[in-house]
Chains A and B, each alone.
Chain A
């Protein structure tokens, strides 16, 4: 293979924009066109916590091999933000390309000898062709997409098709957009050699995959799962979960004749109220959920303890962002694991789900409602900003029409008639899960008092230590029952091939799978497991027990998953080697590879640092 061929369908393009200038839809057009050409692509939005005027980047990785994680090293920068231009010039790999607006001369400070410059007079072209100020601004973005289409050999018909869909109902906008695209194409054709070595070629690698963000998938999953009450408080990056739920509900839950809705969505006054409403609705027999991020999860702790102890089904989608406190609200992280697992004071444990793809966001949201009602406890789905807010190539959504909602152990009027004495917290089936009733079921049977205080098996207030302990033990029994109800981990090899294992979850999957291949190239074979849920089941224990070294890949500083494995499985901490990433950007395969390689073949031992003299105490 010549080096030229290596650059087909394998590079990273980064767009440097100013937020609020309409670049998002142009950049999306670029990524989607490549997707339409059957080539795996992964776009990432790197945006500020701001509405207008600050730098924002859109990074698109194109990977013939189907690696959908982020990759270090930028091959091509589209620089239309003067604010960040120094940084953007520096970010280009040697030999890479730098596309800029050549309406004005490029200042010498931006000149590097080792990269290629492509000037397109975006402003000049747009000022000549468009009169409206907003259009002049907007179409600059479309012109550079046109230029890229020429440079990378993107099929123009793919761009045309997406534009037609984007402007469905606003058809008169199609023509000026096409014009702007062509302006970019024509300028390249007239002034540069095209296409570049870096370019795309149609493939058939996408199959029936779809492209969607995880938050939308969660919202859709909640519609399919039969959620009828959503209560939430806006917080980045979770906001679009309920927004998606709302817009899908407008489509599928509104009676066309009466206009009445089979759904209630309430924007609460804060996260405490949001989770309170969810608990109230679930208590009363409606499927209800909320979506939030770290700060919201902190606020919801007290109520989660109530739902755990009073055993009220609750579904919470936590789209994690970089903490602690307000942290970096528009950057990704997997750092709410311990907070979620043990949310609230006292002895509590919660069921956690870790989706990796939009399809899993859909599936696990639907499953979360079944699990919450089966187990009568909070189920917290831990997704993250990367999965939630970025578009991902994902397997398509699937729904089996034969699938029923599993509402768990609920007694109706007929069942209550047959019971001599109803015990809300009586473990009849010996699985730790007891029977509940909805308010209003029976005139004289089945009513009980739900409370956060201790009670006996018949829901009567009790300060009896024995009754309390019996109940707490039953809750653990229930949690053990959950181990085999939650999604099982994905084990990559059915038979172990190595003494080394790698363990990961959530969005680290993309980079981890790529890292496995990179390690293989270095003749290092590893086994792998992806955790999909907490509590951990036996498969996780077996995987840890059957490997000498397990690299635990996670996107936080404190190795929270490792802690959870140590606490819950009593896994030997010496075996668990952390591979961490916590700069707010999603983890890359190179990063994983470097950390693992460093551990496996440490550089020649450095001279020991002289032992510090003991401080004399005077």
Chain B
């Protein structure tokens, strides 16, 4: 069911430069579980769009299948949306982007949709450096099918049924860096202060921007023993959330305060550690970023914030040398060689 949100809003809601209040950026009412981290991420996205003065109809939102992939319905009601098939959002986004390079493309996916069924497309959309923001709402489990472990569930993590995950997890952020993604960030659903500026920077990035947002599942993966337990992350998020500002891209490195980290001890003895960018780490340097992420993993820490970016990259349109005019705006006059040329083609085939 879709619900209708009450129309009433405070008459003095602030307006952005386009004259829109924030409610202009809302979608239909969320049908996700109460308290789901995904809704916070949605709120972060629309907050970023509002603050960036994005015209909603100039943004297209795309997703695959799963709880996370439902969220595009719950934000930006004046944008076109496309809820495609499981794991295949990147290809649909690629086609859409090729058709019209002038729109902003937001892709929303989950850990099942990206790290399992959609791994192939995730990998290749990175290779092509498609100009889009790709957000994974990562909760380590399959929500819609009631809580099975996903490929991002940490080894040793316990799920709601008490099963301990025996398999290595896939770390999407380090994978993205390894594959040559040109903007990689990581955040928490509860850390809106960090998330909103990251989303803004990602929207501004002229290529593939990836944000892996850890977003614990309140219903199926919020239990004691889960390394993606929402309570623990939320309880400690304040202590680790120091980013409230993303500067201009060119000076982004200089604005990070160095070396604060917070360890969150779990009941089973494991812990989550939130770590800000440290001094010997240059987010503009891929090797350095890779080292930092790997070092953090070795210490069972999760690095958040901007991990890596390459601001001078060529997106797919540049690589293919497509026209500056969007392809979907070209007409018969631009595209059809006409009957006279066909006559010469015929003549060459005789």
Whether B327 and A447, one on each chain, are in contact in the complex, defined by CB atoms closer than 8 angstroms, is no
Given A280-B91, A444-B78, does the pair A261, B322 have CB atoms closer than 8 Å?
A: yes
A442 to B82, CA, bound (A): 17
**Which residues in A have their C-beta under 8 angstroms from that of B79?**
439, 447
Given A252-B337, A262-B335, A399-B338, does the pair A280, B82 have CB atoms closer than 8 Å?
A: yes
Give the distance to chain B from A301, nearest Cβ to Cβ, in Å.
11
Given A276-B95, A286-B100, A303-B88, does the pair A266, B320 have CB atoms closer than 8 Å?
A: yes
| Smallest Cβ-Cβ distance to B323: which chain A residue | A260
The verdict on A273 contacting chain B, using a C-beta distance below 8 Å, is: yes
| Smallest Cβ-Cβ distance to A35: which chain B residue | B350
The proximity string for B residues 253-273 relative to A, scoring 1 for CB distances below 8 Å and 0 otherwise, is: 000000000000000000000
* Cβ 8 A contact of B72, one of A269, A438, A449: A449
The proximity string for B residues 111-135 relative to A, scoring 1 for CB distances below 8 Å and 0 otherwise, is: 0000000001101100010000000
Give the distance to chain B from A617, nearest Cβ to Cβ, in Å.
47
Binds B, one of A173-181, A400-408, A485-493: A400-408
Whether B91 and A273, one on each chain, are in contact in the complex, defined by CB atoms closer than 8 angstroms, is yes
The verdict on B80 contacting chain A, using a C-beta distance below 8 Å, is: yes
The residues in B between 55 and 84 inclusive whose CB is less than 8 angstroms from any CB of A are 55-58, 60, 62, 72-73, 77-84
A285 to B57, CA, bound (A): 15
* Cβ 8 A contact of B337, one of A224, A272, A284, A453: A224
* Cβ 8 A contact of B80, one of A223, A282, A447: A447
The verdict on A24 contacting chain B, using a C-beta distance below 8 Å, is: no
A498 to B324, CA, bound (A): 61
The verdict on B92 contacting chain A, using a C-beta distance below 8 Å, is: yes
A169 to B341, CA, bound (A): 21
Whether A452 and B349, one on each chain, are in contact in the complex, defined by CB atoms closer than 8 angstroms, is no
Give the distance to chain B from A201, nearest Cβ to Cβ, in Å.
19
| Smallest Cβ-Cβ distance to B69: which chain A residue | A451
Given A280-B99, A399-B342, A442-B57, does the pair A228, B121 have CB atoms closer than 8 Å?
A: no
* Cβ 8 A contact of B98, one of A277, A303, A438: A277
A405 to B334, CA, bound (A): 12
The residues in A between 422 and 450 inclusive whose CB is less than 8 angstroms from any CB of B are 437-444, 447-450
The verdict on A468 contacting chain B, using a C-beta distance below 8 Å, is: no
Q: Which range contains the number of B residues in contact with the other chain?
A: 35 or more
A278 to B28, CA, bound (A): 28
Whether B88 and A461, one on each chain, are in contact in the complex, defined by CB atoms closer than 8 angstroms, is no
Give the distance to chain B from A276, nearest Cβ to Cβ, in Å.
3
The verdict on B170 contacting chain A, using a C-beta distance below 8 Å, is: no
The residues in A between 262 and 297 inclusive whose CB is less than 8 angstroms from any CB of B are 262-266, 268-270, 272-286, 288
**Which residues in A have their C-beta under 8 angstroms from that of B81?**
447-451
Whether B85 and A303, one on each chain, are in contact in the complex, defined by CB atoms closer than 8 angstroms, is yes
* Cβ 8 A contact of A266, one of B2, B82, B98, B350: B98
**Which residues in B have their C-beta under 8 angstroms from that of A209?**
350
Whether A281 and B98, one on each chain, are in contact in the complex, defined by CB atoms closer than 8 angstroms, is yes
Whether B342 and A212, one on each chain, are in contact in the complex, defined by CB atoms closer than 8 angstroms, is no
The verdict on A591 contacting chain B, using a C-beta distance below 8 Å, is: no
Whether B102 and A273, one on each chain, are in contact in the complex, defined by CB atoms closer than 8 angstroms, is no
**Which residues in B have their C-beta under 8 angstroms from that of A263?**
322, 327
Given A260-B323, A303-B85, A439-B60, does the pair A228, B335 have CB atoms closer than 8 Å?
A: yes
Given A281-B98, A439-B96, A443-B78, does the pair A211, B350 have CB atoms closer than 8 Å?
A: yes
The verdict on B336 contacting chain A, using a C-beta distance below 8 Å, is: yes
Whether B56 and A461, one on each chain, are in contact in the complex, defined by CB atoms closer than 8 angstroms, is no
**Which residues in A have their C-beta under 8 angstroms from that of B103?**
284, 439-440
| Smallest Cβ-Cβ distance to B335: which chain A residue | A226
The verdict on A145 contacting chain B, using a C-beta distance below 8 Å, is: no
**Which residues in A have their C-beta under 8 angstroms from that of B60?**
284, 439-440
Whether A272 and B327, one on each chain, are in contact in the complex, defined by CB atoms closer than 8 angstroms, is no
* Cβ 8 A contact of B83, one of A228, A439, A449: A449
The proximity string for B residues 7-49 relative to A, scoring 1 for CB distances below 8 Å and 0 otherwise, is: 0000000000000000000001000000000000000000000
* Cβ 8 A contact of A447, one of B57, B321, B322: B57
Give the distance to chain B from A521, nearest Cβ to Cβ, in Å.
32
Whether B337 and A210, one on each chain, are in contact in the complex, defined by CB atoms closer than 8 angstroms, is no
**Which residues in A have their C-beta under 8 angstroms from that of B99?**
228-229, 280-286, 288
Given A272-B88, A276-B121, A285-B328, does the pair A440, B95 have CB atoms closer than 8 Å?
A: no
* CB<8 Å pairs between A and B, sample of 8: A266-B94, A268-B124, A280-B96, A280-B99, A283-B92, A283-B99, A443-B55, A450-B80
Q: Which 3 A-B pairs have the closest CB atoms?
A: A280-B95, A276-B91, A286-B99
